[in-house]
Amino acid sequence: MLAMGRRKAGWLLPLLALFCLGWADSWESLRATAATVTSVQAHFVQEKHLPILAKPLVSRGVFYYQAPGSLRWEYREPVQSVMVMHAGRIRRFVNGPSGWTEEQGAGLAAMQVVMEEISQWLAGRFDANPMFQARLEPGRRIILTPKEEAMRRVIQRIELDLADQPGVMQRVTIYENENAFTRMAFDHTVLNARIDEALFRSVP
């Protein structure tokens, strides 16, 4: 019994060390933690802040991620919309008065870049995109700054706040400038649960 207890303690020690050291103290520890994450699902609340808005525009939804690169980003209110990325292909569907329809058009190419970037973050590769300078700050915060001036005119910086729980993102804030930004806060996060692959292919 004691031996079993010692064996358990021996197995737990590296894990406890990971918690004590902090899972977000270095790019290596972030990647090591993310390597243990095969899937993520969470609820999110998105707030759009713009100088012309009397109050932020709030949207709510859920997302599903399956390593290595499948993502479903689903808005449930105020507009029902689903964006899926699977096998390198991105599609967007919107529920309107005539039911669910697939949409193309402005913003979809840009959203493909964003969706791929989110997949990289969920895989722990925060410093993988050569377009951004990544900085890890105390308090589990990562700041991504565009290297190119042209990109900085669209996105000034991105702040990623990681949760206490290893592998979990708490908040993402995308700044267009100091007064115009999009903040997404995540909760009800579930790691490594089985997700039906059909979710990344079929809509709704």
128 binding another protein? (CB under 8 A): no
* Positions in 27-56 near another protein (CB under 8 A): 46, 48, 50, 52-55
Which residues fall within 8 angstroms of residue 57, CB to CB, at 6 or more apart? 47, 48, 50
96 binding another protein? (CB under 8 A): yes
Q: State in angstroms the smallest separation of the CB of 169 from another protein.
A: 16
Q: Binding another protein by CB under 8 A: which of 59, 66, 70, 119?
A: 59
CA–CA gap between residue 59 and residue 168 (Å, rounded): 21
Q: Binding another protein by CB under 8 A: which of 65, 75, 175, 186?
A: 75
Closer of 9 and 50 to another protein (Cβ):
50
Q: State in angstroms the smallest separation of the CB of 100 from another protein.
A: 11
**Backbone phi, then psi, for 192, in 5-degree steps?**
60, 25
Helix, coil or strand: residue 40: strand
203 binding another protein? (CB under 8 A): no
CA–CA gap between residue 178 and residue 60 (Å, rounded): 23
The DSSP element (H or E) to which 49 belongs, if any, is strand 39-49
